[in-house]
Amino acid sequence: MKLFLRGAAALLSTLFIISAFAGCSDRVRGIDGIAWNEYDELIASVKAESDPDAREELLHKAEDMLMGTECVAPLFGYRDAYLMKGSLTGVYQTHYGAKFFMHASSASGAVTAHLGAAPDSTDPALATTTVALTVVENTFSGLFAHTADGSVTPMLAASYDVSRDGKKYTFVLREGLLWSDGSALGASDFVYSWRRVADSSTKSPYRYLFDLIARDEEGKLDISADETNTVLTVKLTDPCSYFTELCAFPAFYPVKESCVESAPGYADIYDNVIDPDAWTLVANYVTSGAFTFTGSADGKYNYAKNPNYYGADAVTVSNLSFVYGEDANAAYAMYQEGAVDYLGLIPPELHDELASGGEYHVDDVNGTYYLSYNFNCSAFRDMKAEDAAMLRRAMSLYVDRENIISTVTKNGEHVSTSIVPDMTAGTGGQYRSGEDASDKDGAGTGYFSTSTEENREEAKRIIKELGMDGDGDGVIDREYRFTLLYLTSDSATDIAIAQAVSQDLAELGVMLKVSAVESRVFEFESGIHNYDIIALGSVSYYNDALSVLERWTTGADGNYARLGSVVIDEDANAY
């Protein structure tokens, strides 16, 4: 997992999105003595299950297990608000927030879009922010592509066939495919590119997505190109109902081997990869999508229509420019002046005023902003496992989510009651978080109430039951109070959210020491788990509940709770 927000940083404009664990029992949640390796096995069984109903049942069980740890506190679900001139039409986005401009129509034939913060990379294997993914979607292409209605359709693939057991995919590529430099693009380019992502030297955050592909005798991905270089054969470990949707995600897009590996700074004299992203810094680097990079000037990154793109005849925009910056007021001024046609960074205080206008748009995104507790936090270490889980729940319940989305983010967000947003189960059906018996009351409403008052009453009952509120005033008694280190990014939005959370928890008797750091420091500190609470946001790579739940398995990059990172002494039942 690396498609995640480094906090909320202007929300979607800056999207970035274990060994045995025997002690995370939670009798309040009905989960007692479950080892985290059972979660790993459950996720594996979801991947192997082909029956839609059985698969969805397994997904809900996994959701229950994860939420039952009380290490995850969802705050709100994302919606992406933006401004767009009436002269610009046909722009749409994926469920993870990336925008497609190649199908747009503009009266001038040119489009300038202010997307927000600069992309972290424009390499399909490394891009993690919504801004970066937007650039990639408009400059590269894959076997499949997302459509305006949320489905996927063949792109570079002319057709495909699936074996009867669902474990072998055969893709026939379109005839005459070319890279932007005019050279031939074939099946072997997919073989190289997919193996590159799966290679640890590339340091791709999407490496684990390729684990569903079988390995050959040499340990490489079991994929091959035929002699004509027009047929790609892929062998999977298990049937995968969402594989074609994965093929529409940028990490599965091809890149040109010679362009990547000849770039200055890419590797040392011993062919050890130094900077896997170096090739995108070369002027006019080779792409395969609707647009190709032509250079930057006057704060704009300019792209021209790629005449070698297979669908070039349908692209009516001849020039596309992206503008970056994190100052929302400056960005809005540019929009008012007519310097940009699309604005993805709206000042929070203007949302209400602009919402009634015809140029204001809001799209749903499959993403959640959440807090994750470090399971190994010293504050919980001397507590019984179920008591620690109850205390984490009390803190999560006490946060006023409505206040955050109404006074801080102001972007049309909605209160989240599970880390899993409503989405499909990868089988065509709708997956609802907390559906049936997979929440605390079986009402299908998730794991928290949307009512702050109800949540806070429950929080007070919990600290009373734990013996931490002897006088019954709804505040943790002084002798039991503690301080937690809260790690977040240093964007104005994230800092404001941190302040709101701090004020809420202070009322409960929990103090927070907020560490708001810039992106590189955040990357380092989160990597070494230097936090008690970390503020994050994530969106789903593919439209399936598994895309969220698989991130919390043993050793996964997205497992910020560190579930299963240590073995707990069951006899002592303590951390």
Over the stretch 176-212, which tens digit does the pLDDT of each residue have? 999 999 999 999 999 999 999 999 999 999 999 999 9
548 close to 557: Cβ distance less than 8 angstroms: no
- Note the pLDDT of residue 427: 54
pLDDT level of residue 480 (50, 70, 90 thresholds): very high
pLDDT level of residue 523 (50, 70, 90 thresholds): confident
48 close to 446: Cβ distance less than 8 angstroms: no
Examine the pLDDT at 88 and tell me if it is beyond 70: yes
String of DSSP letters for 232-288: EEEEBSS--TTHHHHTTSGGGS---HHHHHTSTTSB-TT--BS-TTGGGGSTT----
Examine the pLDDT at 568 and tell me if it is beyond 60: no
Examine the pLDDT at 489 and tell me if it is beyond 80: yes
Examine the pLDDT at 520 and tell me if it is beyond 90: no
* Phi and psi torsions of 422, nearest 5°: -65, 125
Nearest to 134 by CA among 107, 102, 161, 156: 102
Examine the pLDDT at 464 and tell me if it is beyond 50: yes
543 close to 550: Cβ distance less than 8 angstroms: no
CA distance 227 to 230: 8
Tell me which of 399 and 36 has the higher pLDDT. Answer: 399
* Average pLDDT rounded to a whole number, residues 471-476: 96
- Note the pLDDT of residue 14: 40
Examine the pLDDT at 352 and tell me if it is beyond 90: no
CA distance 456 to 169: 51
Residue pLDDT, tens place only, 276-316: 999 999 888 999 999 999 999 988 999 999 999 999 999 99
Which domains are seen in the chain, by residue range? Answer: 4-79+365-552 (3.10.105.10), 81-281 (3.90.76.10)
pLDDT level of residue 382 (50, 70, 90 thresholds): confident
- Note the pLDDT of residue 263: 94
- Note the pLDDT of residue 455: 96
> Quick check: helix, strand or coil at residue 433?
coil
Examine the pLDDT at 572 and tell me if it is beyond 50: no
CA distance 32 to 222: 40
Tell me which of 251 and 22 has the higher pLDDT. Answer: 251
Task: Say which residue the tokens 């992309």 belong to.
Answer: 119
- Note the pLDDT of residue 16: 38
CA distance 91 to 249: 18
pLDDT level of residue 25 (50, 70, 90 thresholds): very low
Please name the amino acid found at residue 120: D
Percent of the chain with pLDDT over 90: 71
Sequence-distant contacts of 380-385: CB under 8 A, at least 24 apart:
380/575, 381/574, 381/575, 382/574, 382/575, 383/574, 383/575, 384/573, 384/574, 385/23, 385/24, 385/25, 385/26, 385/568, 385/573, 385/574, 385/575
- 110-116 and 319-324 strand pairing: parallel
- Output the CA torsion sign for 356, 357, 358, 361: negative
Mean pLDDT, the chain, integer: 88
- Note the pLDDT of residue 471: 95
Please report how the helices 52-68 and 36-48 are oriented relative to each other, as an axis angle in degrees rounded to 10.
Answer: 160
Which helix H or strand E contains 84, and what residues bound it?
strand 72-84
Examine the pLDDT at 330 and tell me if it is beyond 80: yes
- Note the pLDDT of residue 466: 97
